[in-house]
Amino acid sequence: MSERAGVLSRPVAQFCAASNENGGGSRAIDGPMTTLSGAKDMASSITRPISRNWSLPNVLTYGRVIAVPLVVGLLFWPHEPWARWTALAMFAAAAITDFFDGYLARAWAQQSSLGRMLDPIADKLLVSAVILMLAADHTLAGLNLWAGVIILCREILVSGLREYLAELRVPVPVTAVAKWKTTVQMIALGVLIAGPSGEAIVRGAIATGIVLLWIAAILTLYTGWDYMKASYDHVGND
Tell me what percent of the residues of the chain surpass a pLDDT of 70: 65
Count of other CB atoms within 10 angstroms of residue 98: 20
Q: Please give the span between the terminal C-alpha atoms of the chain, in angstroms, as a whole number.
A: 97
Residue 125 makes CB contacts below 8 A (sequence gap 6+) with 65, 68
**Are 221 and 157 spatial neighbours (Cβ–Cβ below 8 Å)?**
no
Q: Considering only residues 54 and 225, tell me which one the structure prediction assigns the higher pLDDT.
A: 225
Assessment of whether the complete model's pTM goes beyond 0.75: no
| Side-chain half-sphere exposure of 180, counting CA atoms within 13 A | 9
The amino acid that residue 120 corresponds to is: P
Average pLDDT of span 6-21: 48
The residue with greater pLDDT, 227 or 186, is: 186
CATH tag for 52-230 (out of 3.40.220.10, 3.40.50.300, 1.20.120.1760, 3.30.420.40):
1.20.120.1760
Domain boundaries, the chain: 2-47, 52-230
Selected residue with higher pLDDT from 77 and 232: 77
Nearest to 121 by CA among 38, 64, 41: 64
Residue 9 has pLDDT above 60, yes or no: no
Confidence band for 105, pLDDT divided at 50, 70 and 90 = low
Which pLDDT does position 118 carry in this prediction?
A: 75
| Phi, psi of 237, rounded to the nearest 5 degrees | -95, 10
145-184 confidence digits (pLDDT tens): 999 999 999 888 888 877 777 677 766 667 788 889 989 9
Calculate mean pLDDT across residues 34-51.
46
103 pLDDT tier (thresholds 50, 70, 90)? low
Q: Please state, in angstroms and as integers, the Cα–Cα distance from residue 104 to each residue in 31, 95, 145, 206, following that order.
A: 46, 15, 35, 34
Distance, in Å, from the CA atom of 230 to the CA atom of 27, rounded to the nearest integer, reads 70
Q: Which of 34-43, 53-62, 114-123, 184-193 has the lowest mean pLDDT?
A: 34-43
pLDDT reported for residue 220: 92
pLDDT at 144 over 80: yes
**Cα–Cα distance, 238 to 235 (Å, whole number):** 7
Task: Tell me the range of 30-34, 87-91, 108-112 where mean pLDDT is highest.
Answer: 87-91
3-state SS assignment for residue 180: helix
The pLDDT of residue 178? 84
